[in-house]
Amino acid sequence: MNLRHSRNWRQLSEAGRPNVTITVDRLNEEALGRQIMFSQYFAAYAGEFYDIDAFDQRA
């Protein structure tokens, strides 16, 4: 798993594509809620950075 992740991360980085790795000690309700909240904030900030409306996109 780590080798595959490393290869994908490297390919995305070389292509100039943004990527992030998130690790958690334990996956439970609290950790999942934090990850969802992080993803929502991340989408909002990335939208501002790339000058797009992150909340007006098709599903």
Distance, in Å, from the CA atom of 47 to the CA atom of 50, rounded to the nearest integer, reads 5
The confidence score (pLDDT) of residue 55 equals: 78
Domain count, the chain: 1
Is residue 42 situated within a structural domain?
yes
Q: What is the pLDDT of residue 9?
A: 80
pLDDT at 3: 67
Tell whether 2 is covered by a domain: no
CA pair distance 28, 25, nearest whole angstrom: 10
Domain boundaries, position 31:
24-53
Q: Is the pLDDT of residue 59 over 80?
A: no
Is 33 a domain residue? Answer: yes
18 domain residue, yes or no: no
pLDDT tens per residue, range 11-58: 888 898 888 888 888 889 999 999 999 989 988 888 898 898 877 867
pLDDT at 1 over 60: no
Within a domain: residue 38? yes
Q: Is residue 17 part of a domain?
A: no
d(CA 42, CA 19): 11
pLDDT of residue 7: 82
40 is a domain residue: yes
Is 5 inside any structural domain?
Answer: no
Give the per-residue SS3 of the chain.
CHHHHHHHHHHHHHCCCCCCCCCCCCCCHHHHHHHHHHHHHHHHHHHHHCCCCCCCCCC
